Every structure is written in structure tokens, then in C-alpha cells.
Amino acid sequence: MFKLLSVTLVAATVLLVSTNNSNISLAGTCASKCGQGPIQFKPGQRIRVQVVNKTPNQIQLQKPSSTNPIPLNAGQELQMEQIEGTEPNTSLIFWNEMGLALQANISKPNFGTLRVELRPTWRSPGDRSLYIMDDGRVNIL
């Protein structure tokens, strides 16, 4: 009798636990559900950078050691001169004049263009720079 009660309790527990954990995922390919791959350009390719200020405030842009800070008003778009991808790890830094955090959304609308939309965000400290590495990969820091 004691063995029958123990076996019944164990079986009931296993059954109850297995039905409560019904959101088990099965492994498979991501052929249709893969996210967008990282943005990358061919090493050495000349890249045009479009920067769009989608914030309600003025922001500043600067390509270190090449330009002075460039003000970009709310809603304004700026085409940066072409940046050569073979420059040693090219970067573009940006900041909000009021110290508010920014989020950079990047896209590749065509073969040689990198579009950067700067938006306000609640994440602190937010994004502060765009980094194009020698191998053509684009990172947001």
C-alpha cells in the first residue's frame, strides 16, 4: 500500500510539472525567423553617411581628428563626406547638447550608404558613437 501511494504521488508530480511547463521550445533552423544580419560594408569601400536628427533638440556630431563639432538641429539631415572604409577604424561621435541619452538606429538603404537615425531614449547613458572597423563591420557604442 505504501509503495502504491508513493508511486502515485511521484507520477502525479511529474505529470503536473510537465503540463505547467508547456512552453518548451524545439530546436530548428531560423530560415524564416532569423533577425536582420549585422550591417557590413566591403573593406576599403567608400561609404556615404547620412545622419538624421529625430530628437526635439540640437545634437552635435564630430569625426575625431577631422572635423570640429557640427550642430544638427531637430529634424535636420546631414550627408557626411564620404568616409573610406580603410581608414583605421573610422568613427563618428555624437551627443545631445542638453546631456540627454541618444539611440542610434542604423540601416543600409543602398550599396554605399549608411543611414544613422538619432532618437531620444530612456536608456542611460545611451549610444555615443558609430564605429566602422577596417573589415567593414559597423558597431554602435
Q: Is 43 helix (H, G, I), strand (E, B) or coil?
A: coil
Whole-model pTM: value is 0.70
Contact status, residue 47 vs residue 41, Cβ threshold 8 Å: yes
Whether the per-residue pLDDT at 66 is higher than 80: the answer is: no
CA distances from 86 to 47, 76, 115 (A): 10, 28, 19
Average pLDDT over residues 54-76: 91
What is the pLDDT averaged over residues 78-82?
80
User: Please, what is the average pLDDT of the chain?
Assistant: 80
| pLDDT in the model for residue 43 | 82
The structural domains of the chain, with segments of one domain joined by +, span: 48-140
What are the φ and ψ backbone dihedral angles of 10, each rounded to 5 degrees?
-65, -45
